[in-house]
């Protein structure tokens, strides 16, 4: 088994400010200071699919009542989330459940590498929050018609499912309600740019997620 160093998806890497306004680091710092006076039961962490969720009514309806925090950053790949969680974002909080949704932005990485990145995050969470449960959400299909990224994402989910199957503190939840139609197409009503979810798309994803989360939180409370 190769070491994490040779897997770029599993090597903590901060975002690089290529544009000139330092927004990635600003967001990270914002999350770190945000965590100082909050006591979330649930932490959502990941990429734009997590970040955008916070902007819509569905967050207030389903996840605010669960005392959830949102640490999503658009564009993040596994190595960026790994860096953020290693550098303060888990510093002052002890959520019972961490919802991890990341992987679709790992361009240039193989499905195996992306799985390795996700599992590195799962391990990090276990190290920092020994009592927390990590719920990994399956990476969604993307693109209007079948393409290699859909195959890659499906393979990532398969590999992660296998990797977590032996772990008591983590599992994979497939949140794809069936976005791909029988002709292979994805609708812009669900994914407005064939990647990001519309409010309607989020409803379809979040209802089962919410139910599953409530079940997990109840189980955690019994422990």
Partner 1 sequence: MSGDEINPAAVAQAVEDVQGDDRWMSQHTRFVQECKDAEPEVLFIGDSMVQLMQQYEIWRELFSPLHALNFGIGGDTTCNVLWRLQNGELDNIRPMVTVVWVGTNNHEHSAEQVAGGILAIAQLLTSRLPKTKVVVLGLLARGDGPNPLREKNAAVNGFLRSWLPRLGQAQFLDVGAGFVHSDGTISTRDMFDFLHLTAAGYRAIAKPLSDLLLQILDETPEEKRASLV
Active site residues: 48, 193, 196
Q: Tell me: does residue 33 bind partner 1 (CB under 8 A).
A: no
Integer-rounded Cα radius of gyration of the chain: 17
| Stretch binding partner 1 (CB under 8 A), from 8-16, 36-44, 80-88, 139-147 | 139-147
Classified as helix, coil or strand, 178 is: coil
Q: Which of 56, 66, 154, 155 binds partner 1 (CB under 8 A)?
A: 56
Burial zone of 41 (CB within 10 Å; 0-12 exposed, 13-18 middle, 19+ buried): middle
Write b or e for each residue in 192-221: b if 16 or more Cβ atoms lie within 10 A of its Cβ, otherwise e.
Answer: eebbbbbeebbbbbbeebbebbeebbeeee
Find the shortest distance in angstroms from Cβ 27 to partner 1.
6
Decide if residue 149 touches partner 1 (CB under 8 A): yes
CB 89 within 8 A of CB 71: yes
Pick the piece of the chain touching partner 1 (CB under 8 A) from 7-15, 37-45, 92-100, 186-194. Answer: 186-194
Q: How far is the CB of 48 from partner 1 (least distance, A)?
A: 9
Q: In whole angstroms, what is the distance from residue 192 CA to residue 18 CA? A: 26
Q: Can residue 142 be called a binding residue for partner 1 (CB under 8 A)?
A: yes
Stretch that binds partner 1, among 90-98, 112-120, 129-137, 147-155 (CB under 8 A): 147-155
């994803």: which residue's tokens? Answer: 205
Stretch that binds partner 1, among 2-10, 49-57, 79-87, 171-179 (CB under 8 A): 49-57
**Residue 23 is a binding residue for partner 1 (CB under 8 A):** yes
Does residue 192 belong to the site contacting partner 1 (CB under 8 A)? yes
- CB of 23 or CB of 128, closer to partner 1: 23
Q: Out of 1, 16, 37, 107, which residue is the one contacting partner 1 (CB under 8 A)?
A: 107
113 binds partner 1 (CB under 8 A): no
Q: How far apart are CA 103 and CA 195, in angstroms?
A: 12
Q: In sequence order, what are the residues at sequence separation of 6 or more whose Cβ sits closer than 8 angstroms to the Cβ of residue 48?
A: 72, 73, 74, 75, 76, 196
Q: Which of 182, 115, 126 is nearest to 154 (CA)?
A: 115
Residue ranges binding partner 1 (CB under 8 A): 18-23, 26-27, 30, 51, 54-56, 73-74, 107, 142-145, 147-150, 188, 192-196, 198-199
């Amino acid at each position: 088994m190769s070491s994490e160093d040779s897997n770029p998806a599993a090597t903590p890497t901060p975002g690089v400010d290529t544009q000139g306004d330092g927004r990635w680091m600003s967001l990270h710092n914002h999350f770190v200071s945000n965590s100082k006076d909050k006591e979330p039961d649930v932490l959502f962490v990941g990429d734009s699919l997590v970040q955008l969720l916070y902007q819509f009514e569905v967050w207030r309806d389903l996840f605010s009542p669960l005392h959830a925090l949102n640490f999503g950053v658009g564009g993040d790949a596994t190595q960026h989330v790994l860096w953020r969680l290693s550098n303060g974002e888990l510093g002052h909080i002890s959520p019972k459940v961490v919802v991890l949704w990341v992987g679709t932005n790992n361009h240039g990485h193989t499905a195996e590498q992306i799985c390795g990145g996700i599992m590195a995050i799962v391990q990090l969470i276990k190290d920092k929050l020994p009592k927390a449960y990590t719920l990994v959400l399956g990476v969604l299909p993307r693109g209007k018609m079948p393409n290699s990224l859909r195959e890659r994402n499906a393979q990532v989910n398969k590999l992660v499912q296998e990797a977590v199957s032996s772990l008591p503190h983590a599992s994979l939840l497939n949140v794809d309600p069936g976005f791909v139609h029988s002709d292979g197409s994805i609708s812009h009503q669900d994914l407005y740019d064939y990647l990001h979810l519309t409010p309607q798309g989020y409803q379809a994803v979040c209802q089962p997620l919410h139910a599953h989360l409530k079940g997990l939180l109840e189980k955690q409370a019994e422990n």
